[in-house]
Amino acid sequence: MKAHRLQDLMIWKKSMTLVKEIYLITEKLPSQEKFGLIPQLRRCAISIPSNIAEGAGRNNSKEFFQFLGIASGSTYELETQLLLLVELQFIEEQNITPLLNDLTEIQKMIYKFKTNLING
């Protein structure tokens, strides 16, 4: 497996940008969520680029594939939590729509990356 330099991986860059956006949006949430949704959203968001990074640092494509799967799961978890913010009326839907669009793009990128790893 060829080595992957993190700063060259568009999927990692996009997920790092998403983490920053999640931090900004969670600053606007009610203070009673400082032990609830706020840390959960942040941990989940951080998990995406972190798992991509860990997979890229592994020695074979099978391990990278596994970590991409974990990152993918975190995107769906984060999507659920963002939708929950709207359901709980903590945030307006139009404020999370760009984040949901970014998540969809990252999900597609992870899927494509995994497919490329399998097919060599």
Each residue's pLDDT tens digit, 35-82: 999 999 999 999 999 999 999 988 788 999 999 999 999 999 999 999
pLDDT at 5: 79
pLDDT at 3: 59
The two structure tokens encoding residue 27: 């600053």
For the question of whether the overall pTM of this predicted structure is more than 0.85, the answer is yes
Coil, strand or helix at 34: coil
Q: 66's torsion region: left (phi>0), alpha (psi -120 to 50) or beta?
A: alpha
120 confidence band (pLDDT: 50, 70, 90): low
In this model, does residue 4 exceed pLDDT 80?
A: no
